[in-house]
Amino acid sequence: MIEVSGPDRLDDLLKDYFHPREAPADLSRRVLSAERATVQELARLEKRLAIQATPRGVCLIRAAKVEEPASAAARRLAGQAREQIGEYLRGQRAFFSVPVDLSGVPDFQRRVLEAARRIPFGEARPYAWIAERIGHPHAVRAVGTALGRNPVPLIVPCHRVWRSDGGLGGYLFGVECKRGLLELERRTPVLEGCASTRIVCRVGCVHGRHMRPDNRVVFASVEDACSVGYRPCKVCKPSA
């Protein structure tokens, strides 16, 4: 509730409301500088990543050396993951289709990670949300520990989980990287449609690679796309 102590105070409040102060002269420069710093941070992360896979899926992503996949199938999945992660970090992908193999993690952690995977691109949830989703509302700290040991960050988006007080919380690749990923997702469109085929896809779908720039239409939701005659892609299934 706003306290008003006379007509002068009311005039000041109305003036501030209808005539907001001008933005600082260097605001654009600072915004662009921060965006460049984010791009550089994520580019460094991409170069540092090492990926391990089994024939069933990606099982380990770290910013350090890991064992090379033993089988041809595992190497193919690791290569696919590297390609998709690179596209994601460059703002060219809003989802991952490469499978993950979580068979080596404990049951509680696997449930935590599966809940984290359901957080939509560009959104975030508190640790307590995960705890409630897996049926352990008082296990917030255990949820944080499980996410901190996430074997496949980025693909399983533990960076989309933060503290209930609004703080970012910890992250395997560092808090600045976590902030950068959240900023990246806020800037990256989730859906794009092709004006010639009238198909709407998730950004990163194979169909988008062949789309001419002048045919590209960005949508906020599948419902918006369908309302103007587009249909969901059968490959990336944006309505799923």
- Rounded to 5 degrees, what are φ and ψ at 53? -140, 160
Q: What is the DSSP letter of 156?
A: B
Two structure tokens written together for 239: 């309505």
Q: Alpha-carbon distance 220 to 13, whole Å?
A: 35
Which tokens in the block code for residue 109?
């952690």
Instruction: Give the tokens for residue 78.
Output: 């690791």
Point out the residues that are catalytic.
158
**H helix or E strand, kind and range, residue 129:** helix 127-133
Cα 92 from chain centroid (whole Å): 12
| Single-letter amino acid, residue 97 | S
Separation of alpha carbons 143 and 106, rounded Å: 13
